[in-house]
Amino acid sequence: MNKTGAIFTIFLAFVLAIGLVFIDNAGDVYYEAQDVYRVYLDGNSIGIIRSKSDLEAYINEKQNAIKEQYNVSRVYEPNNLKIEKEITYNEKISSVAEVYNKISNEKAFTIDGYIVTIKKKNDDLKLYVLDKNVFTDAINETVKSFVDKDKYDAYLREQQQDIVDEGTIIENVYIEDDINIKKGRIPVNEKIFYDHDSVSATKELTKYLIFGNLDKQKTYKCKSSDTLSSIAEANKLNIKELLVANNDLSGEDALLYDGQELVVNLIDPQITVTEVTHEVDKQVVKYDTIEQKDSSMYIGQSKTIKKGENGIEKVTKKVQRKNGFIVSAVGVSSEVLKEPVDKIVKVGTKRTTWSGSYIGSINYSAPDGYWSWPTKSGYCLTSSYGEYRSYERHFALDISCTGLGSPIYAVQGGTVTEIATGYGNNTSVVNYGNYVEINHGNGVVTLYAHLNSVNVSVGQVVSKKQVIGTMGNSGFSFGTHLHFAVYRNGSVVNPFSLY
Protein backbone atom coordinates (compact mmCIF):
# COMPACT_ATOMS: atom_id res chain seq x y z
CA MET A 1 0.00 0.00 0.00
CA ASN A 2 1.37 3.42 -0.92
CA LYS A 3 1.58 6.31 1.50
CA THR A 4 -1.52 8.09 0.15
CA GLY A 5 -3.67 4.93 0.50
CA ALA A 6 -2.53 4.36 4.04
CA ILE A 7 -3.46 7.90 5.07
CA PHE A 8 -6.97 7.54 3.53
CA THR A 9 -7.57 4.25 5.35
CA ILE A 10 -6.63 5.79 8.69
CA PHE A 11 -8.92 8.80 8.03
CA LEU A 12 -11.89 6.58 7.10
CA ALA A 13 -11.52 4.50 10.22
CA PHE A 14 -11.49 7.68 12.32
CA VAL A 15 -14.68 8.98 10.67
CA LEU A 16 -16.48 5.68 11.24
CA ALA A 17 -15.48 5.68 14.86
CA ILE A 18 -16.89 9.19 15.27
CA GLY A 19 -20.16 8.05 13.58
CA LEU A 20 -20.77 5.43 16.24
CA VAL A 21 -21.08 8.12 18.89
CA PHE A 22 -24.25 10.29 19.06
CA ILE A 23 -25.01 12.89 21.65
CA ASP A 24 -28.68 13.95 21.83
CA ASN A 25 -30.14 17.13 23.31
CA ALA A 26 -30.90 15.35 26.56
CA GLY A 27 -27.30 14.32 26.96
CA ASP A 28 -27.82 10.59 26.29
CA VAL A 29 -24.87 9.10 24.50
CA TYR A 30 -25.06 5.90 22.45
CA TYR A 31 -22.01 4.15 21.06
CA GLU A 32 -23.99 1.33 19.46
CA ALA A 33 -27.51 0.35 18.34
CA GLN A 34 -29.85 -0.65 21.16
CA ASP A 35 -33.37 -2.00 21.78
CA VAL A 36 -36.12 0.56 22.46
CA TYR A 37 -39.92 0.68 22.42
CA ARG A 38 -41.93 2.83 20.06
CA VAL A 39 -45.34 3.93 21.35
CA TYR A 40 -48.25 4.26 18.92
CA LEU A 41 -51.59 5.91 19.73
CA ASP A 42 -54.32 5.38 17.13
CA GLY A 43 -51.56 4.25 14.75
CA ASN A 44 -49.47 7.40 15.19
CA SER A 45 -46.04 7.36 16.84
CA ILE A 46 -45.95 9.53 19.99
CA GLY A 47 -42.47 8.67 21.23
CA ILE A 48 -39.75 6.15 21.98
CA ILE A 49 -39.09 4.82 25.48
CA ARG A 50 -36.51 2.52 26.97
CA SER A 51 -38.88 0.27 28.91
CA LYS A 52 -42.42 -0.89 28.23
CA SER A 53 -42.89 -2.12 31.80
CA ASP A 54 -41.80 1.25 33.17
CA LEU A 55 -44.56 3.03 31.22
CA GLU A 56 -47.18 0.51 32.35
CA ALA A 57 -46.09 0.88 35.97
CA TYR A 58 -46.10 4.68 35.70
CA ILE A 59 -49.70 4.66 34.35
CA ASN A 60 -50.85 2.46 37.20
CA GLU A 61 -49.02 4.61 39.76
CA LYS A 62 -50.52 7.86 38.52
CA GLN A 63 -54.14 6.67 38.32
CA ASN A 64 -54.95 6.21 42.00
CA ALA A 65 -58.20 8.11 41.58
CA ILE A 66 -59.47 5.56 39.05
CA LYS A 67 -58.41 2.69 41.31
CA GLU A 68 -60.32 4.18 44.22
CA GLN A 69 -63.41 5.01 42.16
CA TYR A 70 -63.80 1.53 40.70
CA ASN A 71 -62.19 -0.37 43.59
CA VAL A 72 -59.60 -2.01 41.31
CA SER A 73 -55.91 -2.71 41.88
CA ARG A 74 -54.63 -1.99 38.39
CA VAL A 75 -55.13 0.63 35.67
CA TYR A 76 -53.94 -0.06 32.13
CA GLU A 77 -53.05 1.84 28.98
CA PRO A 78 -55.80 2.71 26.43
CA ASN A 79 -57.02 -0.09 24.18
CA ASN A 80 -55.75 1.67 21.05
CA LEU A 81 -52.21 2.10 22.42
CA LYS A 82 -49.54 -0.15 20.91
CA ILE A 83 -45.98 -0.54 22.21
CA GLU A 84 -43.63 -2.24 19.77
CA LYS A 85 -40.00 -3.17 20.21
CA GLU A 86 -37.45 -1.88 17.67
CA ILE A 87 -33.76 -0.95 17.25
CA THR A 88 -32.51 2.62 17.01
CA TYR A 89 -29.16 4.37 16.77
CA ASN A 90 -29.78 8.02 17.19
CA GLU A 91 -33.46 8.89 17.75
CA LYS A 92 -34.43 10.98 20.75
CA ILE A 93 -35.56 8.90 23.70
CA SER A 94 -38.62 10.22 25.57
CA SER A 95 -39.19 9.79 29.25
CA VAL A 96 -42.18 7.72 30.38
CA ALA A 97 -43.61 10.90 31.93
CA GLU A 98 -43.58 12.67 28.56
CA VAL A 99 -45.33 9.78 26.83
CA TYR A 100 -47.80 9.42 29.71
CA ASN A 101 -48.79 13.08 29.40
CA LYS A 102 -49.45 12.69 25.68
CA ILE A 103 -51.61 9.64 26.34
CA SER A 104 -53.61 11.16 29.19
CA ASN A 105 -54.46 14.21 27.08
CA GLU A 106 -55.83 12.08 24.23
CA LYS A 107 -57.33 8.79 25.39
CA ALA A 108 -58.95 7.11 28.37
CA PHE A 109 -57.12 4.52 30.44
CA THR A 110 -58.65 1.08 30.96
CA ILE A 111 -59.49 -1.36 33.75
CA ASP A 112 -60.32 -5.06 33.80
CA GLY A 113 -63.99 -5.95 33.43
CA TYR A 114 -66.54 -7.62 31.19
CA ILE A 115 -67.78 -6.41 27.82
CA VAL A 116 -71.36 -7.42 27.03
CA THR A 117 -72.38 -7.24 23.38
CA ILE A 118 -76.07 -7.48 22.48
CA LYS A 119 -76.59 -8.04 18.77
CA LYS A 120 -79.01 -5.54 17.29
CA LYS A 121 -80.53 -5.28 13.84
CA ASN A 122 -78.88 -1.98 13.02
CA ASP A 123 -76.09 -1.58 15.56
CA ASP A 124 -74.69 -3.71 18.37
CA LEU A 125 -75.27 -2.53 21.94
CA LYS A 126 -72.24 -2.70 24.24
CA LEU A 127 -72.52 -2.71 28.01
CA TYR A 128 -69.68 -2.71 30.54
CA VAL A 129 -69.64 -4.32 33.99
CA LEU A 130 -66.86 -5.07 36.44
CA ASP A 131 -68.68 -8.07 37.89
CA LYS A 132 -70.31 -10.58 35.55
CA ASN A 133 -72.94 -11.34 38.19
CA VAL A 134 -74.22 -7.77 37.93
CA PHE A 135 -75.26 -8.45 34.34
CA THR A 136 -76.75 -11.89 34.95
CA ASP A 137 -78.70 -10.58 37.96
CA ALA A 138 -79.95 -7.59 35.92
CA ILE A 139 -81.09 -9.95 33.14
CA ASN A 140 -82.98 -12.04 35.69
CA GLU A 141 -84.68 -8.96 37.16
CA THR A 142 -85.59 -7.74 33.67
CA VAL A 143 -87.18 -11.09 32.85
CA LYS A 144 -89.26 -10.85 36.04
CA SER A 145 -90.52 -7.47 34.84
CA PHE A 146 -92.12 -9.10 31.80
CA VAL A 147 -93.10 -12.49 33.25
CA ASP A 148 -95.33 -13.18 36.24
CA LYS A 149 -92.87 -13.45 39.14
CA ASP A 150 -94.61 -16.26 41.02
CA LYS A 151 -95.16 -18.36 37.90
CA TYR A 152 -91.56 -17.72 36.79
CA ASP A 153 -90.13 -18.79 40.15
CA ALA A 154 -92.25 -21.95 40.07
CA TYR A 155 -91.05 -22.57 36.49
CA LEU A 156 -87.40 -22.24 37.55
CA ARG A 157 -87.96 -24.61 40.49
CA GLU A 158 -89.91 -27.01 38.24
CA GLN A 159 -92.82 -26.80 40.69
CA GLN A 160 -95.66 -25.56 38.48
CA GLN A 161 -99.08 -26.93 39.31
CA ASP A 162 -100.92 -28.96 36.67
CA ILE A 163 -103.93 -27.27 35.08
CA VAL A 164 -107.12 -28.83 36.41
CA ASP A 165 -109.84 -26.68 34.86
CA GLU A 166 -108.38 -23.32 33.84
CA GLY A 167 -104.94 -21.84 34.22
CA THR A 168 -101.50 -21.16 32.73
CA ILE A 169 -98.23 -23.10 32.67
CA ILE A 170 -94.96 -21.60 31.47
CA GLU A 171 -93.34 -23.86 28.89
CA ASN A 172 -90.28 -21.77 28.14
CA VAL A 173 -88.67 -18.41 28.90
CA TYR A 174 -85.63 -17.22 26.99
CA ILE A 175 -83.77 -14.15 25.77
CA GLU A 176 -84.22 -13.90 22.02
CA ASP A 177 -81.16 -11.70 21.45
CA ASP A 178 -77.66 -12.95 20.72
CA ILE A 179 -75.63 -11.90 23.78
CA ASN A 180 -71.87 -12.28 24.13
CA ILE A 181 -69.94 -11.74 27.37
CA LYS A 182 -66.16 -11.64 27.39
CA LYS A 183 -63.46 -10.41 29.72
CA GLY A 184 -61.56 -7.36 28.49
CA ARG A 185 -60.19 -3.90 29.17
CA ILE A 186 -62.88 -1.24 29.65
CA PRO A 187 -62.17 2.45 28.89
CA VAL A 188 -63.01 4.46 32.00
CA ASN A 189 -64.75 7.14 29.93
CA GLU A 190 -67.49 4.63 29.05
CA LYS A 191 -70.57 4.07 31.23
CA ILE A 192 -69.60 1.23 33.55
CA PHE A 193 -72.28 -0.45 35.64
CA TYR A 194 -70.55 -0.91 38.97
CA ASP A 195 -70.93 -0.11 42.60
CA HIS A 196 -69.27 -1.12 45.82
CA ASP A 197 -72.75 -2.45 46.49
CA SER A 198 -73.56 -4.86 43.65
CA VAL A 199 -77.31 -4.56 44.35
CA SER A 200 -77.24 -0.90 43.31
CA ALA A 201 -75.34 -1.74 40.12
CA THR A 202 -77.86 -4.47 39.26
CA LYS A 203 -80.77 -2.10 39.85
CA GLU A 204 -79.22 0.57 37.63
CA LEU A 205 -78.50 -1.87 34.79
CA THR A 206 -82.02 -3.33 35.07
CA LYS A 207 -83.40 0.18 34.65
CA TYR A 208 -81.30 0.67 31.52
CA LEU A 209 -82.38 -2.68 30.04
CA ILE A 210 -86.06 -1.76 30.53
CA PHE A 211 -86.09 1.95 29.62
CA GLY A 212 -83.08 2.22 27.29
CA ASN A 213 -81.62 5.12 29.30
CA LEU A 214 -80.71 6.19 32.81
CA ASP A 215 -82.59 9.48 32.77
CA LYS A 216 -84.77 10.51 35.66
CA GLN A 217 -88.11 8.86 35.06
CA LYS A 218 -91.41 10.69 34.92
CA THR A 219 -93.52 9.81 37.96
CA TYR A 220 -97.13 10.12 39.05
CA LYS A 221 -98.33 10.52 42.65
CA CYS A 222 -101.39 8.36 43.28
CA LYS A 223 -104.66 9.60 44.71
CA SER A 224 -107.07 7.49 46.69
CA SER A 225 -109.48 7.26 43.75
CA ASP A 226 -106.83 6.02 41.28
CA THR A 227 -106.57 2.58 39.75
CA LEU A 228 -103.83 1.17 37.57
CA SER A 229 -106.20 1.34 34.61
CA SER A 230 -107.02 5.03 35.17
CA ILE A 231 -103.34 5.91 35.64
CA ALA A 232 -102.34 4.03 32.50
CA GLU A 233 -105.11 5.74 30.52
CA ALA A 234 -104.20 9.22 31.79
CA ASN A 235 -100.57 8.72 30.78
CA LYS A 236 -101.26 7.03 27.42
CA LEU A 237 -99.76 3.75 28.53
CA ASN A 238 -100.84 0.16 28.20
CA ILE A 239 -101.40 -1.33 31.64
CA LYS A 240 -98.75 -3.96 30.81
CA GLU A 241 -96.24 -1.17 30.15
CA LEU A 242 -97.17 0.44 33.47
CA LEU A 243 -96.60 -2.84 35.32
CA VAL A 244 -93.21 -3.34 33.66
CA ALA A 245 -92.15 0.20 34.55
CA ASN A 246 -93.13 -0.56 38.16
CA ASN A 247 -92.04 -4.17 38.52
CA ASP A 248 -92.54 -4.11 42.28
CA LEU A 249 -96.33 -4.08 41.74
CA SER A 250 -98.01 -7.44 42.21
CA GLY A 251 -100.23 -7.24 39.13
CA GLU A 252 -103.21 -5.54 37.52
CA ASP A 253 -105.21 -5.80 40.76
CA ALA A 254 -102.45 -4.30 42.90
CA LEU A 255 -103.73 -2.01 45.66
CA LEU A 256 -102.52 1.58 45.53
CA TYR A 257 -102.19 4.00 48.41
CA ASP A 258 -102.57 7.76 48.55
CA GLY A 259 -99.24 9.46 47.73
CA GLN A 260 -97.66 6.37 46.18
CA GLU A 261 -95.32 7.27 43.31
CA LEU A 262 -95.43 5.29 40.09
CA VAL A 263 -93.13 5.56 37.09
CA VAL A 264 -95.16 6.54 34.02
CA ASN A 265 -92.43 6.58 31.38
CA LEU A 266 -92.76 4.60 28.18
CA ILE A 267 -90.49 1.55 28.27
CA ASP A 268 -87.89 0.84 25.58
CA PRO A 269 -86.58 -2.69 26.27
CA GLN A 270 -83.00 -3.37 25.17
CA ILE A 271 -83.52 -7.13 25.14
CA THR A 272 -86.39 -9.32 23.99
CA VAL A 273 -87.79 -11.60 26.69
CA THR A 274 -89.81 -14.37 25.04
CA GLU A 275 -92.27 -16.40 27.08
CA VAL A 276 -94.18 -19.42 25.77
CA THR A 277 -97.20 -20.54 27.80
CA HIS A 278 -99.78 -23.31 27.73
CA GLU A 279 -103.14 -21.78 28.66
CA VAL A 280 -106.61 -23.15 29.26
CA ASP A 281 -109.59 -20.87 29.77
CA LYS A 282 -113.33 -20.72 29.24
CA GLN A 283 -115.01 -18.24 26.96
CA VAL A 284 -118.51 -17.30 25.97
CA VAL A 285 -119.84 -18.52 22.64
CA LYS A 286 -122.28 -15.86 21.43
CA TYR A 287 -125.63 -17.10 20.21
CA ASP A 288 -126.84 -16.16 16.75
CA THR A 289 -130.15 -14.62 15.68
CA ILE A 290 -132.21 -16.43 13.08
CA GLU A 291 -134.81 -14.34 11.23
CA GLN A 292 -138.02 -15.86 9.97
CA LYS A 293 -140.01 -13.80 7.50
CA ASP A 294 -143.67 -13.26 8.30
CA SER A 295 -145.97 -11.70 5.68
CA SER A 296 -148.66 -11.04 8.26
CA MET A 297 -146.45 -8.50 10.02
CA TYR A 298 -145.50 -5.12 8.63
CA ILE A 299 -141.93 -4.21 7.68
CA GLY A 300 -140.14 -2.96 10.77
CA GLN A 301 -142.17 -5.17 13.09
CA SER A 302 -140.56 -8.16 14.81
CA LYS A 303 -141.43 -10.77 17.40
CA THR A 304 -139.10 -13.00 19.40
CA ILE A 305 -140.18 -16.62 19.13
CA LYS A 306 -137.28 -18.13 21.06
CA LYS A 307 -134.76 -16.47 23.35
CA GLY A 308 -131.10 -16.94 22.67
CA GLU A 309 -128.59 -18.33 25.15
CA ASN A 310 -124.83 -18.03 25.04
CA GLY A 311 -122.73 -21.16 25.11
CA ILE A 312 -119.46 -21.92 26.91
CA GLU A 313 -116.31 -23.27 25.32
CA LYS A 314 -113.04 -24.39 26.88
CA VAL A 315 -110.09 -23.30 24.74
CA THR A 316 -106.56 -24.65 25.05
CA LYS A 317 -103.90 -22.56 23.37
CA LYS A 318 -100.18 -21.98 23.13
CA VAL A 319 -99.29 -18.32 23.52
CA GLN A 320 -96.02 -16.55 22.75
CA ARG A 321 -95.31 -13.19 24.35
CA LYS A 322 -92.43 -10.85 23.70
CA ASN A 323 -91.72 -8.36 26.46
CA GLY A 324 -95.15 -9.02 27.91
CA PHE A 325 -97.20 -8.56 24.72
CA ILE A 326 -98.84 -11.42 22.84
CA VAL A 327 -97.32 -11.86 19.38
CA SER A 328 -98.66 -15.31 18.62
CA ALA A 329 -101.53 -17.46 19.87
CA VAL A 330 -102.28 -20.87 18.41
CA GLY A 331 -105.29 -22.92 19.38
CA VAL A 332 -104.40 -26.43 20.48
CA SER A 333 -107.92 -27.69 21.11
CA SER A 334 -111.41 -26.53 22.00
CA GLU A 335 -114.26 -28.23 23.80
CA VAL A 336 -117.86 -27.03 23.82
CA LEU A 337 -119.11 -27.26 27.39
CA LYS A 338 -122.48 -25.74 26.58
CA GLU A 339 -123.95 -25.30 23.12
CA PRO A 340 -125.34 -21.83 22.32
CA VAL A 341 -129.04 -21.60 21.63
CA ASP A 342 -130.00 -19.47 18.62
CA LYS A 343 -132.46 -16.67 19.05
CA ILE A 344 -135.40 -16.92 16.62
CA VAL A 345 -137.14 -13.73 15.56
CA LYS A 346 -140.08 -13.26 13.19
CA VAL A 347 -139.70 -10.13 11.04
CA GLY A 348 -142.45 -8.54 9.00
CA THR A 349 -142.38 -8.32 5.23
CA LYS A 350 -145.79 -6.71 4.66
CA ARG A 351 -145.59 -3.24 3.11
CA THR A 352 -147.67 -0.28 4.24
CA THR A 353 -149.97 1.57 1.81
CA TRP A 354 -148.18 4.90 2.17
CA SER A 355 -146.34 6.10 -0.88
CA GLY A 356 -142.61 5.81 -0.37
CA SER A 357 -139.78 3.41 -0.71
CA TYR A 358 -138.28 1.06 1.85
CA ILE A 359 -134.57 0.69 2.04
CA GLY A 360 -133.54 -2.52 3.71
CA SER A 361 -130.58 -1.15 5.57
CA ILE A 362 -129.18 -2.79 8.66
CA ASN A 363 -129.93 -1.16 11.98
CA TYR A 364 -126.78 -0.45 13.96
CA SER A 365 -128.62 -0.92 17.25
CA ALA A 366 -129.98 -4.30 16.19
CA PRO A 367 -131.11 -6.91 18.77
CA ASP A 368 -128.53 -9.13 20.49
CA GLY A 369 -127.17 -11.84 18.25
CA TYR A 370 -127.92 -9.92 15.08
CA TRP A 371 -124.21 -9.61 14.31
CA SER A 372 -122.15 -12.77 14.02
CA TRP A 373 -118.52 -13.26 15.12
CA PRO A 374 -115.85 -12.89 12.37
CA THR A 375 -113.94 -16.12 13.18
CA LYS A 376 -114.80 -19.71 13.95
CA SER A 377 -115.06 -20.90 17.56
CA GLY A 378 -111.94 -21.47 19.65
CA TYR A 379 -110.72 -17.90 19.13
CA CYS A 380 -108.85 -15.76 21.65
CA LEU A 381 -108.30 -12.01 21.92
CA THR A 382 -104.66 -10.95 21.75
CA SER A 383 -105.26 -7.20 21.83
CA SER A 384 -108.27 -5.26 23.03
CA TYR A 385 -109.94 -2.16 21.64
CA GLY A 386 -108.51 1.19 22.71
CA GLU A 387 -105.36 -0.04 24.46
CA TYR A 388 -102.22 2.02 24.04
CA ARG A 389 -99.15 0.84 22.17
CA SER A 390 -96.18 3.18 22.47
CA TYR A 391 -98.47 6.15 23.17
CA GLU A 392 -100.76 5.23 20.24
CA ARG A 393 -104.18 3.68 20.61
CA HIS A 394 -105.17 0.42 18.95
CA PHE A 395 -108.69 0.99 17.64
CA ALA A 396 -109.62 -2.59 16.82
CA LEU A 397 -109.76 -6.12 18.20
CA ASP A 398 -106.93 -8.53 17.44
CA ILE A 399 -108.38 -12.04 17.27
CA SER A 400 -106.25 -15.16 17.06
CA CYS A 401 -105.99 -18.88 18.00
CA THR A 402 -108.05 -20.24 15.08
CA GLY A 403 -104.93 -20.72 12.97
CA LEU A 404 -103.35 -19.60 9.71
CA GLY A 405 -105.81 -20.04 6.83
CA SER A 406 -108.88 -20.43 9.08
CA PRO A 407 -112.07 -18.81 7.70
CA ILE A 408 -112.99 -15.18 8.25
CA TYR A 409 -116.72 -14.42 8.08
CA ALA A 410 -118.74 -11.31 7.25
CA VAL A 411 -120.40 -10.31 10.51
CA GLN A 412 -123.52 -9.22 8.61
CA GLY A 413 -124.72 -8.82 5.06
CA GLY A 414 -123.45 -5.90 3.02
CA THR A 415 -121.45 -4.76 0.01
CA VAL A 416 -117.69 -5.12 -0.36
CA THR A 417 -116.37 -1.59 -0.88
CA GLU A 418 -112.60 -2.14 -0.80
CA ILE A 419 -110.03 -4.94 -0.81
CA ALA A 420 -106.24 -5.32 -0.90
CA THR A 421 -104.39 -8.42 -2.06
CA GLY A 422 -100.90 -9.62 -2.91
CA TYR A 423 -99.14 -8.87 0.37
CA GLY A 424 -96.99 -11.58 1.93
CA ASN A 425 -96.77 -12.58 5.55
CA ASN A 426 -95.20 -9.80 7.58
CA THR A 427 -93.27 -8.55 4.55
CA SER A 428 -95.04 -5.31 3.78
CA VAL A 429 -94.86 -1.96 5.51
CA VAL A 430 -98.49 -1.46 4.50
CA ASN A 431 -100.22 -1.65 7.88
CA TYR A 432 -103.24 -3.75 6.96
CA GLY A 433 -101.69 -6.07 4.38
CA ASN A 434 -104.47 -8.04 2.65
CA TYR A 435 -107.85 -6.77 3.82
CA VAL A 436 -111.58 -6.56 3.10
CA GLU A 437 -113.92 -3.67 3.86
CA ILE A 438 -117.70 -4.16 3.92
CA ASN A 439 -120.42 -1.51 4.03
CA HIS A 440 -123.46 -2.83 5.91
CA GLY A 441 -125.65 0.21 5.42
CA ASN A 442 -126.91 2.69 8.00
CA GLY A 443 -123.37 4.08 8.32
CA VAL A 444 -121.77 0.83 9.57
CA VAL A 445 -118.54 -0.40 7.94
CA THR A 446 -116.37 -3.34 9.07
CA LEU A 447 -112.70 -3.96 8.27
CA TYR A 448 -110.93 -7.35 8.28
CA ALA A 449 -107.13 -7.00 8.00
CA HIS A 450 -103.85 -9.01 7.83
CA LEU A 451 -105.63 -11.73 5.84
CA ASN A 452 -103.81 -14.63 4.27
CA SER A 453 -106.20 -14.65 1.31
CA VAL A 454 -109.21 -12.66 0.08
CA ASN A 455 -112.25 -14.52 -1.26
CA VAL A 456 -114.42 -11.60 -2.46
CA SER A 457 -114.22 -8.71 -4.90
CA VAL A 458 -115.16 -5.04 -4.80
CA GLY A 459 -118.89 -4.49 -5.41
CA GLN A 460 -119.83 -8.02 -4.39
CA VAL A 461 -122.87 -8.40 -2.14
CA VAL A 462 -122.14 -10.76 0.74
CA SER A 463 -124.39 -12.39 3.30
CA LYS A 464 -124.00 -12.86 7.02
CA LYS A 465 -121.45 -15.60 7.89
CA GLN A 466 -120.17 -15.78 4.31
CA VAL A 467 -116.44 -16.60 4.11
CA ILE A 468 -114.71 -13.45 2.83
CA GLY A 469 -111.10 -14.51 3.42
CA THR A 470 -108.72 -16.44 5.66
CA MET A 471 -106.76 -15.49 8.74
CA GLY A 472 -103.16 -14.49 8.07
CA ASN A 473 -100.12 -12.46 9.01
CA SER A 474 -99.80 -10.05 6.08
CA GLY A 475 -98.78 -6.42 6.26
CA PHE A 476 -97.31 -4.92 9.41
CA SER A 477 -98.08 -7.86 11.64
CA PHE A 478 -96.28 -9.90 14.30
CA GLY A 479 -98.17 -13.16 14.21
CA THR A 480 -101.23 -14.80 12.69
CA HIS A 481 -104.35 -12.87 13.69
CA LEU A 482 -107.35 -10.87 12.47
CA HIS A 483 -107.45 -7.11 12.92
CA PHE A 484 -111.19 -6.46 13.21
CA ALA A 485 -112.33 -2.81 13.17
CA VAL A 486 -115.80 -1.24 13.08
CA TYR A 487 -116.71 2.26 11.87
CA ARG A 488 -119.97 4.13 12.28
CA ASN A 489 -120.54 7.22 10.15
CA GLY A 490 -116.81 7.41 9.51
CA SER A 491 -115.73 7.16 13.17
CA VAL A 492 -114.14 4.08 14.67
CA VAL A 493 -116.10 2.38 17.47
CA ASN A 494 -115.58 -0.58 19.76
CA PRO A 495 -116.47 -3.77 17.84
CA PHE A 496 -118.12 -5.16 21.00
CA SER A 497 -120.76 -2.45 20.63
CA LEU A 498 -122.25 -4.66 17.90
CA TYR A 499 -122.79 -7.59 20.23
Contact call for residues 474 and 451 (beta carbons, < 8 A): yes
SS (H, E, C) the chain: CCHHHHHHHHHHHHHHHHHCCEECCCCCEECCCEEEEEEEECCEEEEEECCHHHHHHHHHHHCHHHHHHHCCCCCECCCCEEEEEEEECCCCCCCHHHHHHHHHHHCCCEEEEEEEEECCCCCCEEEEECCHHHHHHHHHHHHHHHCCHHHHHHHHCCCCCCCCCCEEEEEEEEECCCEEEEEEEEECCCCEECCCCHHHHHHHHHHHHHHCCCCCCCEEECCCCCCHHHHHHHCCCCHHHHHHHCCCCCCCCCCCCCCCEEECCCCCCCCCEEEEEEEEEEEEECCCEEEEEEEEEECCCEEEEECCECEEEEEEEEEEEECCEEEEEEEEEEEEEECCECEEEEEEEECCCCCCCCCCCCCCCCCCCCCCCCECCCCEEEECCCEEECCEEECCEEEEECCCCCEEECCCCEEEEEEECCCCECCCCCCCCEEEEEEEECCEEEEEEEEEEECCCCCCEECCCCEEEEEECECCCCCCEEEEEEEECCEEECHHHHC
Low-confidence stretches of the chain (pLDDT beneath 70): 1-32, 196-198, 352-369, 426-430
Half-sphere exposure of 300 (CA within 13 A, CB side): 4
Among the listed residues 37, 14, 17, 55, the one whose alpha carbon sits nearest the alpha carbon of residue 91: 37
pLDDT of residue 27: 44
pLDDT of residue 428: 59
CB atoms inside a 10 Å sphere around CB 126: 13
pTM for the complete prediction? Answer: 0.79
CA distance 239 to 262: 12
pLDDT of residue 426: 61
pLDDT of residue 355: 38
pLDDT of residue 427: 60
pLDDT of residue 480: 92
- What are all long-range contacts of 23-28, with beta carbons under 8 Å and residues at least 24 apart? 24/90, 24/92, 24/93, 25/92, 26/92, 26/93, 28/93
Kindly report the average pLDDT of the chain as a whole number. Answer: 87
pLDDT of residue 352: 64
Cβ neighbors of 450 (< 8 A, separation 6 or more) are 432, 433, 434, 435, 471, 472, 473, 474, 475, 477, 481, 482, 483
pLDDT of residue 199: 74
